[in-house]
Amino acid sequence: MVYTPGRKSFTAVAINTAAKAGEWILSKLGNYSSLKTKYSPHDLVTEVDQGSEKLIRRLIQTHFPEHSFLGEEGVEPGPEASAKAVESVMNDEYLWIIDPIDGTTNFVHGFPFFSVSIALAYRGEIIVGVIYDPSRDELFVAEKGKGAYVRGRRMQVAPQQKLSESLLATGFPPNRDALGSNIKGIQALVPKVRNIRSAGSAALHLAYVAAGRLNGFWEIGLNAWDIAAGALLVQESGGLVTDTAGNPYTLAVRNVVASNGHIHDELLSELSAANATGQ
């Protein structure tokens, strides 16, 4: 493929950038000075989010000044603005997709479950995905066609075959309509699974599916920067990522289901029966 010669350097830059941003974020834990709401009272931003994105953008553009950039803090709040921003760049040759702190609410409260998410897409297809959890110093890395790794070890999705044996995760999006769909899904699934977690970082939830720590994850009303890196991690670990209707993952997907593959159809079916797909 056209992008093959540069892939190693792309991944190295993504890893280095995520690590530096994560280290800086951790140094600011409990030490932010500005807290604002964006789309809703549940959608928070601090100067640390904005500083992290500037740091990431600067480091990447030092190496690849001609590449496009889609970062959460550079997009107006709300689902319509997010969808429009993605649509305007999704077919660019090289596009970096950044969430400078995925899990800002956790960061604000000192709850140690937040991450830096960096993905690179080539003409709309994710080719590099890196998620860094600075609290645990865990780096999740995937390259298209090369597998996915955590702490240098190859990841594999969990082996469970049935929804009833599964540990799932979801989240609570700031969009009220999306929130209603997610709550319907939780109500339908709680009696049918081993348990459900909601720890507050979609990127880390996806990384945990890839690492076999979760069997599946779904959420309604996410954005490209929440999903992109984690989607590649799951796929390269042998899992499956679709929208809630079962269509293949693209950068435009906002209602996402990721799993070990074995439980995917069962999970989609339950969400559909509960009218919890966000469609």
104 a catalytic residue: yes
Instruction: Write down the catalytic residue from 102, 219, 243, 266.
Output: 102
Contact (Cβ atoms closer than 8 angstroms) between residue 210 and residue 233: yes
101 a catalytic residue: yes
Interatomic CA distance for residues 138 and 150, integer angstroms: 7
Interatomic CA distance for residues 153 and 265, integer angstroms: 29
133 a catalytic residue: no
Neighbouring C-beta atoms of residue 3, cutoff 10 Å: 17
* Angle between helical axes of 202-210 and 224-236 (0-180°, round to 10): 0
**How many residues does this entry show for the chain?**
279
99 a catalytic residue: yes
Instruction: Write down the catalytic residue from 226, 236, 243, 270.
Output: 226
Contact (Cβ atoms closer than 8 angstroms) between residue 97 and residue 33: no
Half-sphere exposure of 139 (CA within 13 A, CB side): 16
Instruction: Write down the catalytic residue from 49, 53, 72, 236.
Output: 72
Instruction: Write down the catalytic residue from 25, 97, 98, 101.
Output: 101
Instruction: Write down the catalytic residue from 49, 73, 99, 236.
Output: 99
Instruction: Write down the catalytic residue from 11, 17, 46, 104.
Output: 104
220 a catalytic residue: no
226 a catalytic residue: yes
Q: Which residues are catalytic?
A: 72, 99, 101-102, 104, 226
